[in-house]
Amino acid sequence: MDNRAIAKVQYLQRQAASLLLYQSVLQGEVGIAYLDLLQAIRYTDADAQSCLQAYGNYFKCLAARHQNWEEYLMTQILRADNPFTQLAQQQEFENLPPALVAAVQHDLQALQNLYECSSAALSQWVQAVAYLPVSPVVWYVEQDRVAGIHELPLLEKLQQLENWADAVKELAAYYRQFGTGLFAEYKALRWQAGQFIGIRYPDSVELSQLVGYESQKQALLKNTEFLLSGQVALHVLLYGSRGSGKSSLVKALLKEYGDCNLRVLEVAKSELKDLPKIVEQLRGVPQKFIIFVDDLSFEEDDDAFKALKVVLEGNLTARPQNVVVYATSNRRHLIREFFADRPSPKDNEEIHAWDTMQEKLSFSDRFGLTLTFEGADQKIYLQIIRHLAAQAGIDISQEDLERQALQWATRHNGRSGRTARQFVDFLKADLTLSSLTHPPANTEL
């Protein structure tokens, strides 16, 4: 490499080191691989082995994410979590500290310099350092699906600007509307071991797949739309027969409203003790959150019961309007009760034992909205079967379809939406496999 190229590499390294707020942009695998490659190009060994290995790692990291370097860098800026992005979500741009805005402008200029150092330029430098006859393969992918629908307008604006520092106001407005960090990147998350974890591949359920329970469905949709519009939404308990589609209905909300800033946060029963802390961390975030608790029930003196009670009933801390709890259960009374729990004349340990028992039994009443899912009768079951079979493109007679569906329900888990789904999945796979192993005879002469 000539001195001019070496000076350029040194300049890029200084730009990366000078970041004041957006260090996280370069702390992922791709960012680290990029910086390692710059270092290897600058201080190459005699046979350039470390430089070639660094380029290979950089190429692999980009390929694993299916992103170009430029796209990766800009999306990391939009999802960065730092003092500016956090404050921009809560305050108008004019009220942000001038020093914070100046730091962002500095960082955007530095990151633009890194952006303009493309993978093609890096490949040419590696070729020069390693004395290769041709430059290494450059990773490139058409940018047709990597950005989210909300990110595209701002990404396009950055690409057109001569100076990214001029976009600081638009960037603050983006953070205020769409948030940052995990909540901007993932629509489905879970709380695990004291932290939020993004779910890259959530269970994709569409409302059109769910048949029956129309009044329950409409009530849940309306309540969710209250949440999204900023109105006071109610906590919801969905209880009833197993396999009736309670959990699927909650999951389908994500597919229906995920692009409307809705997020679904799954919290296991074992993690419910953290619920007050979770709710506080979600306060003031632009997204709207459904805390999803599946298969809810409690034992005696359960800490999870106390934590959920605080969230449902509230305390001196105001309830955030961007969070609701949607819980499913097979039990109408969420706390297990035994005959031994019931007061008797011999019970001399508690004076107001009946009050304690009534508190347990009435816990489910603390949910503002309770939706009941009764078991499917044969008519509803067959209606679900016909609907799912039509969506799956199963081409058999209705009489044969219903006969097999009823046999399946008898031999397996009884009539329910879950049983219907399992039957249709099995039947579709069976018919597909049969058509592959026994194709129709060729009738052409």
pLDDT tens-digit readout, 370-402? 898 887 778 888 888 888 888 888 888 888 998
Among 372, 187, 355, 181, which Cα is nearest to 281's? 181
Range 197-207+234-370 classified under CATH 3.40.50: yes
Residue 267, beta-bridge partner list: 191
The reported pLDDT for the residue numbered 351 is 47
Going by C-beta distance under 8 Å and a sequence separation of 6 or more, which residues neighbour residue 417? 210, 211, 212, 243, 244, 245, 248, 376, 384
Residues of the chain with pLDDT > 90, as a percent, come to 46
Helices in 315-377 by DSSP H: which ranges? 353-361
Q: Are 76 and 181 in contact (CB under 8 A)?
A: no
Going by C-beta distance under 8 Å and a sequence separation of 6 or more, which residues neighbour residue 233? 223, 224, 226, 227, 321, 324
The reported pLDDT for the residue numbered 258 is 87
Average confidence (pLDDT) over 305-319: 72
Average confidence (pLDDT) over 289-317: 74
**Residue with tokens 């802390």, as numbered in its chain:** 277
The reported pLDDT for the residue numbered 301 is 53
The reported pLDDT for the residue numbered 143 is 64
pLDDT-derived band at 209 (thresholds 50, 70, 90) equals confident
Q: Are 236 and 323 in contact (CB under 8 A)?
A: no
Where are the chain's structural domains? Answer: 3-179, 197-207+234-370, 378-437
End-to-end CA distance of the chain: 70
- Of 93 and 420, more confident: 93
What angle do the packed helices 378-392 and 398-411 form, to 10 degrees?
120
Residues of the chain with pLDDT > 70, as a percent, come to 86
pLDDT-derived band at 148 (thresholds 50, 70, 90) equals low
The reported pLDDT for the residue numbered 314 is 64
Tens of pLDDT, residues 124-134: 999 999 999 99
- Cα gap 94→290, rounded to integer Å: 32
> Which of 40-44, 242-246, 316-320 has the lowest average pLDDT?
316-320
- Cα gap 49→61, rounded to integer Å: 19
| Global confidence as pTM | 0.76
Geometric angle at alpha carbon 283, from 281 and 288, rounded to 5°: 110
pLDDT-derived band at 154 (thresholds 50, 70, 90) equals confident
The reported pLDDT for the residue numbered 444 is 43
Average confidence (pLDDT) over 97-114: 97
The reported pLDDT for the residue numbered 355 is 45
Average confidence (pLDDT) over 222-248: 89
- Is the per-residue pLDDT at 147 higher than 60? no
- Cα gap 36→42, rounded to integer Å: 10
Compute the mean pLDDT over every residue in the chain, rounded to the nearest whole number: 84
